[in-house]
Amino acid sequence: MEWLQRGREMNKGYELINFCEFDKYAVKSYCAIHNVDENLNLGDITKIDENNLPYFNFICGGSPCQDFSVAGKQQGARWTCQECGEEYNPITVHYSKRDCCPKCGSKNLDKTRSSLLVEWLRIIRANKPNFGLYENVKNIVGKKHKETFNLFIKELEEYGYNCYWKVLNAKDYGVPQNRERVYVLIVKKELDNNEFKFPKPIQYINWNEILESNPNESFYLTDSEINKVLNTKFSKETYKNNTLDIFNQLKNNSCNIDFLIGDYRYDEGFRVRDNNCSPCLNTKSISTSLSGKPIIIKDGKARNLTPLELLKLMGFDSKDVENVTKYNITLNQIGKQAGNSIVVNVLYEIYKEIYKTMPYLFDDLKVSSYFSGIGAFEKALDRLFEDINKGEI
């Protein structure tokens, strides 16, 4: 277990017991950012023996959002029996009977990615950490999926936890990105003093801390890409005039826009929703396709966001980007990792409020991280303990 001890010693203020990530590129980025060995990775959560894990007292994670996101298939937490074809929401079945088809009893089940939240529950049920923090897309509390979310909360309460949840937007917590997410804090009932409140907005946005001063020319839109925009067949007239006006100016080198950010979709055009905020990043924020990516128009030129800007919009920093690029992680992978991550600043503000009301939860903190991505929960913890040690909290 020497590798486990190494992983613990590399963190100040808390011990990273393990992390759990399936994507091999995200694993490399995680290890580069947090300076830990890949042996700490538990891998596929469905293959973890929940009764044979080292002790931990804090659990964090955000299960894959594709089946709850409005941009995904919205299948929700759904399992399908491969024997009889029965489809069911595993959350609606008591955990003692969950792994068998309610109709035929078969254990041969096809599980959606977002039903991995059931696996997170399995880990909690067996290990009973003191507290935990969970994140997912806003749509999980929307009309279509609210029943699943309510049952998720009810099950955690059955395990002996008090649950607090709220939708928070990254643009209210120091990052210029319009990204609404649901955050759930769970605390053992016997440890909860009932004083926790989610952080109030701080409304601090500074683009100068995000943008690179001299981005590589490869990030600027080519004449061909601008022509593609101008030749769009608009399915929505809302953005047509705005798109044609701006991109004709770009084509003719007559654009006098100082700063503007939005995103472009082939069937809609260029969408500007908030001049001060990036649209919500997704896994296509860097890709070979122009559609779906944030576009900055600055000093009369249009370009894509750089890897540094994408990771900064998620609360990471230039040192993290430097560490990741050492491992030859591609631009597409960095874009995907940013889109799949969680905004560090929001997690940090939540941690601060937990620490202010229940500082004893952070004593001898031992962390088990699931669906870890590139480790936003851990990055926020690093920042928290740095500020605690400096006496700023």
Of 305, 326, 347, the last residue of a domain is: 305
Is 174 inside any structural domain?
A: yes
27 with 7, same domain: the answer is yes
* Whether residue 11 has pLDDT greater than 50: no
Structural domains of the chain, count = 2
Q: Are residues 384 and 363 in the same domain?
A: yes
Same domain, residue pair 17 and 125: yes
The answer on 240 and 185 residing in a single domain is no
Instruction: Based on the fold, state whether residues 186 and 263 are members of the same structural domain.
Output: no
> For position 208, what pLDDT does the model report?
82
Task: Please indicate, yes or no, whether residues 293 and 228 belong to a single structural domain of this protein.
Answer: yes
Residues with a known catalytic role: 65
Q: Are 55 and 175 contained in the same domain?
A: yes
Q: What is the pLDDT of residues 354-370, one digit of tens each?
A: 999 999 999 999 999 99
30 and 156 co-located in one domain: yes
Q: Which amino acid is at 290?
A: L
CA-CA distance, 232 to 212, in Å (whole number)?
30
pTM for the complete prediction? 0.90
- Whether residue 105 is contained in a domain is answered as no
Starting from the edge strand earliest in sequence, which strands make up the sheet with 109-111, in order? 87-88, 79-81, 109-111
Residue range 146-178, pLDDT digits in tens: 888 999 999 999 999 999 999 999 999 999 999
For residue 292, tell me if it sits in a domain.
yes
Domain that residue 227 falls in: 213-305
Compute, in degrees rounded to 10, the torsion defined by CA atoms 300, 305, 308, 309: 80
- pLDDT tens digits for 201-222? 997 777 888 899 899 999 999 9
| 189 and 72, same domain (yes or no) | yes
Specify the length of the chain in residues. 393
Does 92 or 83 have the greater pLDDT score? 83
Provide the pLDDT for residue 70: 43
Q: pLDDT tens digits for 173-185?
A: 999 999 999 999 9
Distances (CA, A) of 336 to 97, 124, 204, 283: 36, 28, 26, 4
Are 122 and 236 in the same domain? no
Are residue 261 and residue 128 in the same domain, yes or no? Answer: no
pLDDT over 90 (residue 378): yes
Instruction: Say if residue 285 is in the same domain as residue 351.
Output: no
